[in-house]
Amino acid sequence: MPAIRKTIDEAEIQRQIELCSRIRAMKNTDGQAGLALVDTYGCQQNEADSEKIRGYLAEMGYGFTQDEFAADIIVVNTCAVREHAEMRVLGNVGALNHTKKAKPEQIICVCGCMVQQEHMTEKIRRSYPIVDLVFGPHELWRFPELLLRVIEKHGRVFATEKDEGAVAENIPLRRDGKVKAWLSIMYGCNNFCTYCIVPYVRGRERSRQPEDILREAEQLVAEGYKDITLLGQNVNSYGKDLDREIDFADLIRMINAIPGEFLIRFMTSHPKDATEKLFRTMAECEKCAHHLHLPVQSGNDRILRAMNRNYDHAAYLKKLETARRLMPDLVVTTDIIVGFPGETEEEFEDTIRLCEQVRYDAMFTFIYSKRNGTPAASMPDPYSREEKQRHFDRLTETANRISGEKHREYEGKSLRVLVDGETGREEYNLSSRTNGGRLVHLKGDPSLIGQFVDVQITASNTWALYGEMKNG
């Protein structure tokens, strides 16, 4: 049964864009084209949101800077996934005291997941008086209206109402690079893993209509983007909330049919919803990268149950086996949490065992961080930070060793890679990615950025491969 899916009227977004023109006109009266700085924390979803914030700011006539003393407006787009992310944000917002003292008319905005939590909004209200505007992810579409309120009233504005979230199309976007692009296909999360704050701050799953996604993908290809990453907290549940028959595999097929040479990537894929149909589609669609980021979180069934992940380690391994049978060259990466409340030595050993079995190309490992308001926050957590750290170090060592071994297997092989940027180093001045997303350093002319080239891998380490361009 499709949930009630709220969309923001196109006329509303149009009105926001008109408000941008009003702000632009107001600024022009004192002859200053202002500068903006957008500082982004957290996941790719937040990067994609920051592109919309920059899109609006550009409509308002702002140029962009990295220098916080030069900026007339600073937008800090925050993350709440772990305590560490929040501490970094608060530290950096606190440091803006200096810039605001030097430039009292500077406007400071804090937005994103962190401020969608009531206790954080309160903290900013009380302890960070330099912050002029606070808005949660659900209010991003009306950033111009909120900013105008700050400018006109010279007062503080807080917009962080509890909301399930909506879908807003046609917000102007300003992307960073010219080679790789993020493309949000859905927002929110319904999974409520017991450790995770995301469903509380990002609202319920909402899919964009396939026509809107396809239009954006076509435009990206026409603009020359070569690497398109489809984004969602769980892309495998794409379409479930739409009142039509479409799933994520169908969407990949539609995007794959766009003419041109480019790669389709996606993240993240929840193991419980990863289907053979998806793997088959990945194998059959020539533009779909053979990379699967399939976060396992733990290799122990009791912990997986306590996390509310809805699969056990055997089901996970079986899915991977199917995927690898269909795509023998599949690159597999994962996320793992160490030190979930009550995780014992033996339970941790199951995670190590699973990693040795799967042999991940890369692993993103985290120490469990207690998040207020989640079910895991009230579970007994008897193990010390030191014990968790010890497990974490052991897992990292395992991860690094396996990555190094996997990378060594590439040596001597020939591959097609996409050159995506410069490294700033003389030897190996270019960076590129394999189809599976592994980093390859190369030496070559910067004009190759944005092109697919054939390389031979000559060396490797834990983090990267090194290659030589083939002649001709």
Q: Which residues bind ligand SAH (CB under 6 A)?
A: 81-82, 195-196, 198, 233-234, 268, 270, 295, 297, 335, 337, 366, 368-369, 371
The answer to whether 207 and 185 are in contact (CB under 8 A) is yes
- Contacts with ligand F3S by CB under 6 A: the residue count is 12
* Nearest residue to 264 via CA among 272, 255, 273: 255
Among positions 260-279, residues that touch ligand SF4 (CB under 6 A) are 270
Applying CB under 6 A, does 191 fall inside the site for ligand SF4?
yes
Applying CB under 6 A, does 417 fall inside the site for ligand F3S?
no
CB of 236 to ligand F3S, least distance (A): 17
CA distance 376 to 259: 47
CA distance 410 to 418: 16
CA distance 297 to 224: 36
Question: Using CB under 6 A, which of 23, 37, 80, 255 touches ligand F3S?
Answer: 80
Applying CB under 6 A, does 189 fall inside the site for ligand SF4?
yes
CB nearer to ligand SF4: give 69 or 192: 192
Residue closest to ligand SAH, measured at CB: 335
The window from 106-114, 191-199, 315-323, 380-388 that contacts ligand SF4 (CB under 6 A) reads 191-199
Question: Using CB under 6 A, which of 147, 193, 252, 294 touches ligand SF4?
Answer: 193
The phi, psi pair for 436, rounded to 5°, reads -80, 0
- Partners of 207 in beta bridges: 186
CA distance 90 to 397: 31
CA distance 15 to 135: 19
Residues whose CB falls within 8 Å of the CB of residue 149, separated by 6 or more in sequence, listed in order: 155, 157
Question: Using CB under 6 A, which of 192, 253, 276, 353 touches ligand SF4?
Answer: 192
Applying CB under 6 A, does 194 fall inside the site for ligand F3S?
no
CA distance 109 to 131: 6
CB of 193 to ligand SF4, least distance (A): 3
Among positions 68-97, residues that touch ligand SF4 (CB under 6 A) are none
CB nearer to ligand F3S: give 13 or 80: 80
CA distance 136 to 275: 33
- CB environment 39-71: b (16+ within 10 A), e (fewer): bbbbbebbbbbbbbbbbbbbbbbbeebeebeeb
CA distance 438 to 430: 14
- Partners of 362 in beta bridges: 333
Applying CB under 6 A, does 194 fall inside the site for ligand SF4?
no
CA distance 355 to 405: 13
Which of ligand SF4, ligand SAH, ligand F3S, none does residue 192 bind to, with CB < 5 to 8 Å depending on kind?
ligand SF4
The window from 76-84, 264-272, 278-286, 319-327 that contacts ligand F3S (CB under 6 A) reads 76-84
Site string for ligand F3S, 39-58 (x = CB under 6 A): ---xx-xx------------
The answer to whether 65 and 37 are in contact (CB under 8 A) is yes
Among positions 270-329, residues that touch ligand SF4 (CB under 6 A) are 270
Strand, helix or coil for residue 31: coil
* Nearest residue to 195 via CA among 310, 273, 306, 274: 306
Applying CB under 6 A, does 374 fall inside the site for ligand F3S?
no
Which of ligand SF4, ligand SAH, ligand F3S, none does residue 369 bind to, with CB < 5 to 8 Å depending on kind?
ligand SAH
Question: Using CB under 6 A, which of 38, 53, 79, 110 touches ligand F3S?
Answer: 79
CB nearer to ligand SAH: give 254 or 379: 379
- Contacts with ligand SF4 by CB under 6 A: the residue count is 10
CB nearer to ligand SAH: give 12 or 387: 387
Q: In this structure, how many other beta carbons lie within 10 angstroms of the beta carbon of residue 465?
A: 25
Applying CB under 6 A, does 198 fall inside the site for ligand F3S?
yes
Residues that bind ligand F3S (CB under 6 A): 42-43, 45-46, 79-81, 113, 197-198, 201-202
Binding site for ligand SF4 (CB under 6 A): 189, 191-193, 196, 198-199, 233-234, 270
